[in-house]
A and B are shown apart, each in its own frame.
Chain A
């Protein structure tokens, strides 16, 4: 897509693209079959700066904005969406929460290991009875002297079993639904922490998704983020960035699917004609490409607003809603262009089709994005009319 990028942005994009094609592509198929990525790949991504894009230099970061993170995530996700989600959660959620809300002691101890890729980050909100409704969180955190005892379980946590730092949202006050939630950094070495069920998923198979179990899990009070009761504020603040990350992941998947569709339709002949020359294919290509570029513009805008320090909940949700929706419609059409073979594992489109689905589910379902957007629009209207 033509878009005015400055020199350093073009260079970052190129490094991400080269890395994805040379290092990720050759192992992505096997990683998706085996269900995990060799950890060395994240070390390498750390060395190149991908695991601390938005973190300051003093913690080993690159000190760049969300816009550059988006450019890199697109390229990585186009080759392996599983690596894309790991990188997105790590950067937009874990790193961000620790930088913004952790004590200096915790920042100095964890961030350099996160930005170097030595340690991965995870983010745990969802429980069996809570997810979209964050206020329904039940996992309890009770203060005992210098530590908190956590009890309960989190489910569907990306990278949960390989992460070295997990942002866990827990209930510190059972009586106050909204102000009773707090955020902690849980490290897997903590007593009482264990991994439960490892999920078998439809897609993103090279990214592990697990249950986290807390049985009198001892979390030092110093690992509380911000103050008690700040959980919801932290959760939603992080998600603004996280949603931009998932929008970028969606763009990567969508671009890969469009490329596959065009490539295949130029090669495949039926009725003595390349199927790319049928008008039904042409119409599809035009609509896919237009929607993709529109989604990209929404995502870039949201990232730039966040970099400018402006509130961008509505814009992040719009970007995520539209980009994830678009990714799913593009993988659908690109698979249709393949015909029956697209349904086999022989073709990349099969993986892209499965990987795209979750972008409409995690970090807020499409329905939740619509709630956020409509609420903002109605509030804007109400503010614009005189009392």
Chain B
């Protein structure tokens, strides 16, 4: 089987995000970048499927992002993926989901695939659209927010489990298809030290928009981010202080009644 796993470079979940003064993006200094958490589940599921499918099955990581994303692609190779395609182009500095999906769909098509795994959303902009737009463009079924995955014995069909209110939904899909992954699907493996050494020899094919056959940006973006605006500063809390608890409570009740007017 030819298995694709999509990977996006995003700020570390622990990073403190600040909007830059121009309102065009976030302050980059001191921010660590990591593989999008949900994409880690996608890579892991791709590796598990390869082990099950056997034969000459192969996992290719597909990433669109700046040059700095190479290290994260390499990390996925260290986890065990076979090779990677890294689409990077200055024109793709801030693509909208439609453009991203068009580029990724073309790259996936060029590569050929039986199944595509990706995260259910990227944890940076939380758009969660790529898999659905790609599925439409590639004209293949999509099953989203997967918490379980099983392949049929003949490798032609998959059963995907989705967690819904009060139970699980089992969706059977023909292949090729795109499956977006949710937390709980699996426990992603670490990039082992031997894996890191092996990954150095694995191929990462860098591609530009021109390499993918696009003259300019694939199609006009459908949306644009106008401005990034920081949240208004919270008005903060007031500490009620008094020598005695009894006095503090009396003061608190007075404030709730007279200032906040909720009593």
Question: Which chain A residues have a beta carbon within 8 Å of chain B's beta carbons?
Answer: 7-8, 10-12, 14-15, 18-19, 47-50, 53, 62-64, 68, 72
Contact = CB atoms under 8 A, between A and B. Distances in A.
Residue from the set A47, A50, A68 with the largest chain B CB neighbour count within 10 Å? A47
Residue from the set A10, A47, A48, A50 with the largest chain B CB neighbour count within 10 Å? A48
Given A7-B71, A10-B71, A11-B75, A19 B197 contact: no
Chain A interface SS verdict (over half)? helix
Residue from the set B71, B78, B192 with the largest chain A CB neighbour count within 10 Å? B192
Contacts of A15: 190-193, 196
B131 interface: no
Contact of A48 (B75, B193, B200): B193
A48 B190 contact: yes
Contacts of A62: 193-194, 197
Interface of B: 71, 74-75, 78, 190-197, 200
B74 A49 contact: no
Nearest to B79: A15
B196 A8 contact: yes
Contacts of A49: 192-196
Nearest to B200: A8
B76 to A, nearest CB: 11
A14 B193 CA distance: 11
Contacts of B200: 8
Chain B interface SS verdict (over half)? helix
7 contacts: A11-B75, A11-B191, A12-B193, A14-B191, A15-B192, A15-B196, A47-B192
A8 B194 CA distance: 11
B37 to A, nearest CB: 12
Contacts of B190: 15, 18-19, 48
A261 to B, nearest CB: 19
A50 B200 CA distance: 18
Nearest to B191: A15
Ranked 10 nearest A-B pairs via Cβ: A49-B193, A62-B193, A48-B192, A11-B196, A49-B194, A15-B190, A15-B191, A49-B192, A7-B71, A8-B196
A330 B97 CA distance: 49
Given A14-B75, A49-B193, A62-B194, 14 more contacts: A8-B196, A8-B200, A10-B71, A12-B193, A15-B190, A15-B191, A15-B192, A18-B190, A48-B190, A48-B192, A48-B193, A49-B194, A62-B197, A64-B193
Contact of B196 (A12, A19, A47): A12
Contacts of B75: 11, 14
A18 B14 CA distance: 13
Nearest to A10: B71
B192 A63 contact: no
Contacts of B192: 15, 47-49
Nearest to B70: A7
Contacts of A11: 71, 74-75, 78, 191, 196
A323 B197 CA distance: 29
